[in-house]
Chain A
Amino acid sequence: MHRALREVDFVNFTPVILWSDALVFLLLATCLATVWFVRQREHLLLPWRRVAQSGVALVSLLVLALFFGVGLLDSLHFRTVLPQSNGGEKVYSSEVLSVFDKLVEPLRTQTEKTYSAPFALTLYAKESATDTQGNIVREYPRLQYGGAHLADEAQRDSDVVWRTLTGGAAGFIAVTLLLVGIAAFRRRPQSGGVNAKPFFNGWIPACAGMTSHKAWQPVIIAVFILAILTGALVNLASVYHVLGTDKVGQDVLYLALKSIRTGLIIGTVTTLVTLPLALLLGIAAGYFRGWVDDVIQYIYTVLSSIPSVLLIAAAVLMMQVTIDTNPDWFTTTAARADMRLVALCFILGVTSWTGLCRLLRGETLKLREMEYIQAAQSFGVSSLRILTRHIMPNLMHIILIALVMDFSALVLAEAVLSYVGVGVDPSMISFGTMINGARLEMGREPMVWWALAAAFTFMLVLVLAANLFADAVRDAFDPRLSRNTL
């Protein structure tokens, strides 16, 4: 009895917070706090309203939100309890899993022997097998999981079509129900006559309780497309390897989805380093001038005069030496790979703050000659107060534009750095390691193209969405652009 109770009490996993997870949650908290802060102030909200008027911006934001959702789920890590116990003490598996791994468990665990093409039923290479008469024949063996539910290989095409249709329909119905649900929840009296409006223009946005503004129309369409795609994908991925498998038989779709977190962390956590350095030094140089300016200019000229790839390579090589000579710092291989990722972010941050710093210094130099700053100075307002109350708020648009612009460049840089050999740990799943592993297989006959295609497609979608969103943010925040209409 007593023992049974303890069994029930047992939590069979222990949460693990890797360094990168902690930084991700710190960033998330900062973002939420900023959103809350901005929502209170109409003048800060105004440029965001301009962003929300662009359909392209909203659709790319939606796509980015999906990617960030996957990345966040993939940042909740835990270790499960192993069945055996060490004298009553729980023994945790050395494998660190995430909530996302648990959600897509079949993708992770159903590994084949080696390469197989998308939707394939057989392996990519022939193997020797013994047939019923005892002869040894060379044939393509059936996959262990991919399409294992099919008795006859000829049924595959119709099964794929059927699963695509049913999955897509399920996604469509789910979103429709969701929108109707939201509409019922937020029913407004003035939306009485919406039925007269055309379908996409009036009814559906109104359903979702949104203002029937034009910009929402593409968003609703995008939501439906994404839902149909996701539904079909889920339905197909449960029985097929939709994007094939890699050399060791891992599902490529799983690898591509896992790469998202790595890319996002490189793109976002780096700003945690860039921003304070650029902001503090840039403002100090521009406001205090004199020797402070000289010193700071000297520092950033030195840093920016070293070609960035070389500086990053040198720093990463040295970081690798430190990690390799201190293997006892890390309890799991995941923690070790994660430390390398965080260190890479820091290195990228330290080598890339100079551009933003130069911009902020220039703008501060301009601002400090403004009448209102000089008025504040003559009133005896302290430097600190002038900096935080009068100068910082007027720099925010530059910072925001620089950050969203940098994001996509960083995601792309990760792949290149991993290729050069100074990127993430080879054991960490990322777009760079995927491309690196797959590019040597281009020479095979028939060609193994699916891992490359998957990595490049996922990267393209992520970076394109980020670029389009960044453009919309820049257009909305840049005061140099003339704006007649709101």
Chain B
Amino acid sequence: MIAYLIRRILYAIPILIGVNLLTFALFFVVNTPDDMARMQLGIKRVTPEAIDKWKQQRGYDKPLFVNTAAGGTGKIFDTIFWQKSASMFVFDFGYSDDGRSISREIATRMGPSLAIALPTFLIGLVVYVSFALLMTLFRGTALDWAGVALCVLLMSISGLFYIIGGQFVVSKLWHLVPISGYTGGVDSFKFVLLPILIGVIGGVGSSSRWYRTIYLEEIGKDYVRTARAKGLSELRVLFTHVLKNAMIPILTGVVVVIPLLFMGSLLTESFFGIPGLGSYTIDAINAQDFSVVRAMVFLGSVLYIAGLILTDVSYTVVDPRVRLQ
């Protein structure tokens, strides 16, 4: 198990190098730092001096890969690639355009992101699985049909609608919770309630329908017939036997997103004014703060790969037949 994990983590390194090279190419080779400077400064105020100053402030005035001017190790280390891209491997993300440390911002913003994302994920999982099991229980009846129709309808509605509509009805019409904001601590309960509710509702359609498909596939198998032949009730068959056996396909889709919960949700956080990583990213995109976007891309990939490894580990937990070697 330990040996397997170490191997998987070693496998992750070339992938992260690939991600790093890709973002480097995207941000520095497709467009030169000069182009970025020109765009950020605006077309009118562009003078060569202004561009040089902009580049110097951000440390973009160095050669891309090889610094022929510098001597010794500086040939490699005193370059944009080494200082801006390779340094991400030790999670040194540098500074954003407003001069703040990106690593510190990430550390402080993870809390609010998790306060929304984790409850949404957990409550959502329980709701989707129960709803899907209920549809499976009533399979072939009008109830099942209505459930599927509801799912298709819900998944056809834009996620933006849930947020805007929810804010309007719950906050503006009924005055139940504040429209947006965040305080931190226990007081923020009233702020996170609506985003969590909307997050759960927004996912019902696609998730429940997907789980239902998995359960329907499972329910045709022999062990289900055996369980029924033993005289077990249909509810017991579904909620103990089928639920456990359908764990593997469910875990495949679910565990991988757990680390990504740290990243928060772009839309929810920006609509509800949550100072998490999602709104950090969206602000960076709007302000065209390239160093923050690059940091978030790298962080996202690290978390995704962590999710993949976690998925494999979770298989061994739910299915003793799976051995990681």
Residues in chain A near residue B27, CB distance under 8 A: 314, 318
Residues in chain A near residue B286, CB distance under 8 A: 421
Given contacts A310-B300, A314-B293, A318-B30, contact A324 B39 (CB under 8 A): yes
CB contact between A325 and one of B39, B267, B296 (< 8 Å): that residue: B39
B177 vs chain A, min Cβ distance (A): 16
A328 vs chain B, min Cβ distance (A): 12
**Would you give the 0/1 interface string for A289-306, flagging 1 where the beta carbon is closer than 8 Å to chain B?**
000000000110111111
Inter-chain contact count A-B, CB under 8 Å? 120
Q: For the complex, is A464 an interface residue (Cβ under 8 Å from B)?
A: yes
Among A39-47, A130-138, A226-234, A452-460, the stretch in contact with B: A452-460
Number of interface residues of A (CB under 8 A): 44
Task: Write the chain A residue with the least CB distance to B300.
Answer: A307
The answer on a CB contact under 8 Å between B267 and A419 is: yes
Task: Write the chain B residue with the least CB distance to A311.
Answer: B297
A440 vs chain B, min Cβ distance (A): 11
B297 vs chain A, min Cβ distance (A): 5
The answer on a CB contact under 8 Å between B31 and A416 is: no
Residues in chain A near residue B288, CB distance under 8 A: 317
The answer on a CB contact under 8 Å between A439 and B30 is: no
Q: For the complex, is B260 an interface residue (Cβ under 8 Å from A)?
A: yes
Q: For the complex, is B50 an interface residue (Cβ under 8 Å from A)?
A: no
Q: For the complex, is A387 an interface residue (Cβ under 8 Å from B)?
A: no
Task: Write the chain A residue with the least CB distance to B29.
Answer: A318
CA A415 to CA B160, docked complex, whole Å? 8
Q: For the complex, is B73 an interface residue (Cβ under 8 Å from A)?
A: no
A449 vs chain B, min Cβ distance (A): 8
B44 vs chain A, min Cβ distance (A): 13
| Most A C-beta atoms less than 10 A away, residue of B156, B157, B285, B288 | B156
The answer on a CB contact under 8 Å between B266 and A314 is: no
CB contact between B157 and one of A302, A314, A452, A456 (< 8 Å): that residue: A456
B1 vs chain A, min Cβ distance (A): 23
The answer on a CB contact under 8 Å between B260 and A307 is: yes
Residues in chain A near residue B168, CB distance under 8 A: 442
**Would you give the 0/1 interface string for A345-375, flagging 1 where the beta carbon is closer than 8 Å to chain B?**
0000000000000000000000000000000
Task: Write the chain B residue with the least CB distance to A301.
Answer: B15
Residues in chain A near residue B140, CB distance under 8 A: none
CA A415 to CA B157, docked complex, whole Å? 11
Given contacts A442-B168, A464-B156, A467-B152, contact A310 B304 (CB under 8 A): no
The answer on a CB contact under 8 Å between A467 and B35 is: no
The answer on a CB contact under 8 Å between B155 and A459 is: no
The answer on a CB contact under 8 Å between A415 and B158 is: yes
**Would you give the 0/1 interface string for B89-131, flagging 1 where the beta carbon is closer than 8 Å to chain A?**
0000000000000000000000000000000000000000000
**Would you give the 0/1 interface string for B290-307, flagging 1 where the beta carbon is closer than 8 Å to chain A?**
100110110011001100
Which residues of A20-74 have CB atoms within 8 Å of chain B's CB atoms? none
The answer on a CB contact under 8 Å between B267 and A460 is: no
Q: For the complex, is B253 an interface residue (Cβ under 8 Å from A)?
A: no
Given contacts A315-B26, A322-B31, contact A416 B160 (CB under 8 A): yes
The answer on a CB contact under 8 Å between A317 and B290 is: yes
Which residues of A429-456 have CB atoms within 8 Å of chain B's CB atoms? 431, 435, 439, 442, 452, 456
Given contacts A321-B39, A322-B30, A420-B285, contact A435 B156 (CB under 8 A): no
Residues in chain B near residue A408, CB distance under 8 A: 156
- At the interface, is chain A mostly helix, strand, loop or mixed? helix
| Most B C-beta atoms less than 10 A away, residue of A313, A327, A439, A471 | A313
Residues in chain B near residue A435, CB distance under 8 A: 158, 160, 164
Among B16-24, B60-68, B241-249, the stretch in contact with A: B16-24
**Would you give the 0/1 interface string for B226-258, flagging 1 where the beta carbon is closer than 8 Å to chain A?**
000000000000000000000000000000000
The answer on a CB contact under 8 Å between B301 and A306 is: yes
Which residues of A252-307 have CB atoms within 8 Å of chain B's CB atoms? 298-299, 301-307
The answer on a CB contact under 8 Å between A459 and B22 is: no
Q: For the complex, is A206 an interface residue (Cβ under 8 Å from B)?
A: no
Task: Write the chain A residue with the least CB distance to B12.
Answer: A305
The answer on a CB contact under 8 Å between A314 and B23 is: yes
CA A322 to CA B38, docked complex, whole Å? 11
Q: Given known contacts A317-B285, A420-B267, what 15 new A-B pairs fall within 8 Å (CB)?
A: A303-B22, A305-B304, A307-B297, A307-B304, A318-B30, A321-B35, A325-B31, A327-B43, A420-B285, A421-B282, A442-B167, A442-B168, A460-B158, A467-B152, A467-B155
Q: Which 3 A-B pairs have the closest CB atoms?
A: A302-B18, A307-B300, A464-B156
Could you list some 22 contacts between A and B, CB below 8 A? A301-B18, A302-B19, A304-B304, A305-B15, A305-B304, A306-B22, A306-B297, A306-B304, A307-B260, A317-B293, A322-B35, A325-B39, A420-B267, A421-B282, A422-B285, A439-B160, A442-B164, A442-B167, A463-B156, A463-B157, A464-B152, A467-B155
Question: Chain B interface (Cβ within 8 Å of chain A)?
Answer: 14-15, 18-19, 22-23, 26-27, 30-31, 35-36, 38-39, 43, 152-153, 155-161, 164, 167-168, 172, 260, 263, 266-267, 281-282, 285-286, 288, 290, 293-294, 296-297, 300-301, 304-305
Question: Chain A interface (Cβ within 8 Å of chain B)?
Answer: 298-299, 301-307, 309-311, 313-315, 317-318, 320-322, 324-325, 327, 408, 412, 415-416, 419-422, 431, 435, 439, 442, 452, 456, 459-460, 463-464, 467-468, 471
